[in-house]
């Protein structure tokens, strides 16, 4: 009997291994050129009001410095405490204990919510965390779509030189609970420069410039940063203002990597920017200084002065949204081709957002940073064929895979499109 049980376990293991996805390169990546410039002829000239866009964007960007207090209730701000009631795994893939969460929640010090009321600016690209800790929070790592890289302690990554408002500090004084123009969360205190009204005035009363090329830049022998497209600097004469832990410095920047804000929305800039995003590794919530689906779209449109919120659902809210969730797959494609403006339209489904870049051989194509294709593993368990980067695909990437979940394709789950040139 014991031998039979062992034999059955071996057979079962072989079966599961045979059925498990092997992270095969999906056909879309082979069949469709992965060079955004290849599709630039789909570009349609659209007149955008640069003055209005930039005025609205700058107002939002500096909005934390106009706050007197955070407008969220204490309960709303401490929403992350719900994780303490769930089955959560830490980075060692061990379950977090009640005592671990109790200690964390106590250190979060929400009894002091909205008492510091300080203004600051980020001195590094920094993570905004749900709890004041660098520890990761995962759902069951044994399940597809859970575990790495989906750290639910990660709200977002915020760029250097970003204005923030400080509510209060953790009990250990190592973290500050802050709000930027699009996200709030816990930031390490050593990632902040606290500023007074005179410094704010000096910082704001200069023309705004924006980074248009990803890459490291060294400001002096002890200071460098991996600057991302969409990072802002204020220009003062021939120097740029940079927030550091020792104060606001005037620094030089590579002239090829920075332009006056906003850029003209034209073929040249669209092509140059998109070329830098393609193949970028997937970064959930900005982890490892990489982008996920919504930070890709957000960063792409930022240099043009088109303001987008941070997560996929929120990016449907500020512009003209068309609900096509009840349409058939064929009707969805037809609607997107007829109504979508290439490079100025977002395609939305729950938990994911994509940039429509026009058609190729009558097939609507999107550019998006995606984690993977949903698959089946025997008998009723979902798996993933990992893509893990920014790619150009159809609306049904990976549908050809033997174990693909053909009832849960991207196209099947598309809910709507957003036209970014209309309100």
Tell me the CATH number at 273.
3.90.1720.10
Q: Show Cβ contacts of residue 24 under 8 Å, excluding neighbours closer than 6 positions.
A: 385, 401
Same domain flag for 102 and 239: yes
- CA 263 → CA 32, 162, 266, distances in Å? 28, 20, 8
Does residue 13 lie within any of the structural domains? Answer: no
62 within 8 A of 120, measured Cβ to Cβ: no
Q: Is 292 exposed, middle or buried (0-12, 13-18, 19+ CB in 10 A)?
A: buried
CA nearest neighbour of 349 among 281, 421, 294, 285 = 294
Same domain flag for 225 and 140: yes
Residue corresponding to tokens 């349609």? 44
Strand partners, 383: 375
Residue corresponding to tokens 């929070």? 137
pLDDT confidence of residue 2: 46
pLDDT confidence of residue 8: 41
CA atoms within a 13 Å half-sphere pointing along the CA-CB vector of 310: 18
Does residue 9 lie within any of the structural domains? Answer: no
Does residue 342 lie within any of the structural domains? Answer: yes
Does residue 339 lie within any of the structural domains? Answer: yes
Does residue 120 lie within any of the structural domains? Answer: yes
Give the span between the Cα atoms of 308 and 423, in whole angstroms. Answer: 13
pLDDT confidence of residue 202: 86
Give the span between the Cα atoms of 341 and 320, in whole angstroms. Answer: 12
pLDDT confidence of residue 18: 40
Give the span between the Cα atoms of 271 and 200, in whole angstroms. Answer: 35
Same domain flag for 203 and 333: no
Same domain flag for 140 and 225: yes
pTM of the model: 0.93
Give the span between the Cα atoms of 155 and 128, in whole angstroms. Answer: 5
Give the span between the Cα atoms of 13 and 22, in whole angstroms. Answer: 15
Same domain flag for 130 and 270: no
Strand partners, 244: 247
Buried b (16+ CB within 10 A) or exposed e, 299-320: bbbbbbbbbbbbbbeebbeebe
191 within 8 A of 124, measured Cβ to Cβ: yes
Same domain flag for 280 and 372: yes
CA nearest neighbour of 400 among 385, 382, 413, 390 = 385
Can you list the alpha helix ranges (DSSP code H) found in 211-313? 267-277, 293-301
Same domain flag for 184 and 311: no
Mean pLDDT by 10 residues, the chain (423 residues): 44 41 84 98 95 96 98 97 97 96 98 98 98 97 93 98 98 98 97 96 93 94 93 96 95 96 98 98 96 98 97 96 98 98 98 98 97 85 93 97 92 98 91
Residue 177 in 3-state DSSP? strand
Q: Which of 239, 260, 281 is the last residue of a domain?
A: 260
Give the span between the Cα atoms of 21 and 147, in whole angstroms. Answer: 17
Same domain flag for 272 and 386: yes
Does residue 3 lie within any of the structural domains? Answer: no
Give the span between the Cα atoms of 352 and 410, in whole angstroms. Answer: 9
Q: Which of 241, 260, 279 is the last residue of a domain?
A: 260
CA atoms within a 13 Å half-sphere pointing along the CA-CB vector of 354: 33
Same domain flag for 44 and 72: no
Q: Show Cβ contacts of residue 87 under 8 Å, excluding neighbours closer than 6 positions.
A: 95, 139, 140
Q: Show Cβ contacts of residue 220 under 8 Å, excluding neighbours closer than 6 positions.
A: 251
Q: Which of 227, 260, 293 is the last residue of a domain?
A: 260
- Element (DSSP H or E) covering residue 335: helix 329-339
Does residue 15 lie within any of the structural domains? Answer: no
CA atoms within a 13 Å half-sphere pointing along the CA-CB vector of 128: 24
195 within 8 A of 122, measured Cβ to Cβ: no
110 within 8 A of 80, measured Cβ to Cβ: no
Same domain flag for 221 and 289: no
Question: Which domain range does residue 339 map to?
Answer: 21-48+265-419
* CA of residue 85 relative to chain centroid, distance: 26
Same domain flag for 35 and 93: no
Give the span between the Cα atoms of 159 and 307, in whole angstroms. Answer: 15
Residue 234 in 3-state DSSP? strand
Q: Is 381 exposed, middle or buried (0-12, 13-18, 19+ CB in 10 A)?
A: middle
Does residue 100 lie within any of the structural domains? Answer: yes
Same domain flag for 73 and 205: yes
Number of domains observed in the structure of the chain: 2
């Amino acid at each position: 009997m014991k031998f039979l049980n062992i034999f059955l376990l071996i057979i079962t293991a072989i079966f599961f291994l045979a059925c498990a996805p092997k992270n095969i390169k999906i056909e879309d990546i082979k069949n469709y050129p992965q060079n955004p410039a290849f599709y630039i002829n789909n570009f349609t000239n659209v007149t955008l009001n640069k003055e209005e866009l930039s005025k609205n964007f700058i107002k939002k960007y500096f909005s934390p410095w106009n706050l007197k207090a955070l407008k969220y209730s204490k309960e709303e701000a401490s929403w992350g405490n719900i994780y303490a009631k769930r089955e959560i795994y830490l980075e060692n893939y061990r379950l977090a204990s009640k005592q671990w969460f109790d200690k964390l929640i106590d250190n979060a010090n929400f009894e002091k919510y909205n008492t510091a009321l300080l203004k600051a600016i980020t001195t590094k690209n920094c993570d905004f965390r749900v709890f004041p800790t660098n520890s990761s929070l995962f759902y069951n790592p044994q399940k597809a779509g859970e575990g790495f890289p989906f750290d639910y302690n990660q709200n977002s990554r915020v760029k250097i030189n970003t204005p923030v408002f400080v509510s209060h500090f953790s009990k250990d004084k190592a973290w500050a609970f802050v709000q930027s123009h699009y996200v709030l969360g816990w930031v390490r205190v050593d990632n902040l420069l606290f500023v007074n009204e005179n410094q704010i005035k000096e910082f704001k009363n200069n023309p705004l410039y924006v980074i248009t090329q990803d890459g490291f830049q060294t400001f002096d022998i002890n200071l460098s940063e991996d600057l991302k497209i969409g990072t802002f600097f204020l220009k003062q004469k021939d120097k740029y203002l940079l927030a550091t832990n020792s104060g606001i410095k005037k620094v030089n920047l590579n002239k090829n990597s920075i332009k006056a804000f906003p850029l003209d929305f034209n073929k040249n800039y669209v092509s140059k920017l998109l070329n830098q995003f393609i193949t970028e590794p997937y970064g959930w919530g900005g982890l490892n200084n990489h982008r996920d689906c919504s930070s890709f779209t957000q960063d792409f449109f930022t240099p043009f002065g088109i303001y987008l919120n941070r997560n996929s659902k929120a990016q449907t809210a500020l512009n003209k949204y068309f609900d096509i969730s009840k349409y058939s797959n064929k009707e969805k494609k037809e609607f997107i081709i007829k109504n979508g403006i290439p490079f100025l339209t977002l395609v939305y489904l729950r938990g994911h957002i994509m940039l429509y870049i026009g058609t190729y051989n009558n097939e609507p194509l999107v550019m998006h940073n995606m984690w993977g294709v949903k698959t089946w593993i025997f008998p009723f368990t979902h798996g993933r064929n990992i893509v893990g980067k920014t790619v150009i695909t159809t609306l049904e990437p990976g549908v050809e895979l033997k174990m693909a979940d053909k009832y849960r394709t991207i196209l099947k789950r598309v809910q709507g499109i957003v036209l970014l040139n209309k309100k």
